[in-house]
Structure 1
């Protein structure tokens, strides 16, 4: 069964379509790049999959269910902006996640915090912006979810941290789960992707495996993206 399925999915804000009759499937065990220019509909699709928005038309299913209370147990979501309580320490945040999510793996979170030199007793508000982003990603990736939705997980961090974040994503997700990474930093994420979905003006313009792009087009995902979306 597909982890994520969209059938003629449409979302309008007033008279403007953010998504327009989108059809796609994401199978288990794949790391998928959701790629497109700013304003193409990437965040809208992720919010629909997380149940934060409802479709105007069509259907979206997560593990066979309409997004809602039931699907929240299957989905681990990293929003575009840091959204963790800053008055908490990292240890309190782990307690909070442990209480809230039955699938939270505290041992995995503690190991990642230690590897990054983040002290569990340090309060979030005392951390730099980049460290806060790392802590939030650690919490998200420490769940044994079926679908990880990561909205711009590497947007605001330095290149060395990007590499760490990508290796964290690869090594900490359940192999039967899928990861969807929304980003415009394609050359950075390309090495970890199995599949890509190109989206523009609310429509899917390409869905392909990375291997097919390299074999059939003879170019990298980044080069193809630049060709498809050149101004």
Structure 2
């Protein structure tokens, strides 16, 4: 897998965590889902001391944490930031994040997104697992879909975007095209209809999905039906 940011998306229990764990080898940093996270010792200092014993860390990414703070007193968001910052501070070539935004409030979600963007480096491979497209949009360039333990090859968003054109127009006009092409979504809006196709379309009024919309289409499996 080439360096870059990848989104691993699929429904709960589809096999995302299993896939991440299968990639966890020497030279990788793994951040488990919040419910599976464990901390060493009673304080932040204890945890970071144990992490330093495993591999050297870039302390600049850990400077905002109070070493004397007790782990039990940290909020959910603070614990999540601690696990992610510790993984980033290891500066490994592969970073694996399992549902990093799950259960967080808006402020902490924003902080983690900013952290991942600010620490981006083109030499690193980052795989973020989530069941929500809004977690991934703006952070990843490619997605890997998981359905019933079946894992796809990485799909470049920019390369497949034009495979999903959308037309909005009069029902009779748009449906003439629908009869000849594969459709993944159709919404009736009074006298008009909005249709998203699953193949390229040479039409001057065609529009194309945003990253979040495209990830939703790929994650739903409709694109392959």
Runs of 4 or more consecutive aligned structure 1 residues displaced over 6 Å after TM superposition: none
Which residue does the alignment assign to 1:63? none
Deviations 1:26-46 (A, max 9, x none): 202x01000111121111111
Which residue does the alignment assign to 2:6?
32
Q: 2:128 aligns with which of 178, 181, 184?
A: 181
1:32 aligns to what SS in structure 2?
strand
Q: 1:214 to 1:159 in 2, by over 3 A?
A: farther
Structure whose alpha-carbon radius of gyration is higher = 2
TM-superposition CA deviations, 1:87-136 (whole Å, max 9, x none): 4322222222112113x1112221xxx2xxx4221011111222111111
1:220 and 2:210 are equivalent in the alignment:
yes
Instruction: Note the alpha carbon deviations across 1:23-77, whole angstroms, 9 max, x for none.
Output: xxx202x010001111211111111112xxxxxxxxxxxxxxxx4xxx2xx1000
Q: Please, what TM-score do these two structures have when normalized by structure 1?
A: 0.69
Distance 1:135 1:43, change over 3 A: same
Structure 2's unaligned 5+ residue stretches are 165-207
- Contact 2:6–2:128 (CA<8 Å) still a contact in 1? yes
Contact 2:40 2:50 in 1 (8 A): no
The separation in 2 between residues aligned to 1:163 and 1:101, in whole angstroms, is 28
Question: After the TM superposition, which of the residue ranges 80-89 and 155-164 deviates more from structure 2?
Answer: 80-89
Greater percentage in strand = 1
Farther off after superposition, 160-169 or 88-97: 88-97
Equivalenced residue count is 177
Is 1:42 equivalent to 2:16 in the alignment?
A: yes
Work out the CA distance in 1 between the residues paired with 2:40 and 2:75: 11
Q: CA deviation at 1:161?
A: 1.2
SS at match of 1:27: coil
Give a deviation string over 1:163-191, Cα, whole Å, max 9, x none. 21012112224431110000012113211
1:209 matched to 2:156? The reply is yes
- The alpha-carbon deviation at position 86 of structure 1 amounts to 6.4
Answer whether contact 1:31 1:178 (CA < 8 A) is retained.
yes
What does residue 5 of structure 1 align with?
none
Unaligned runs of 5+ in 1: 1-25, 51-66
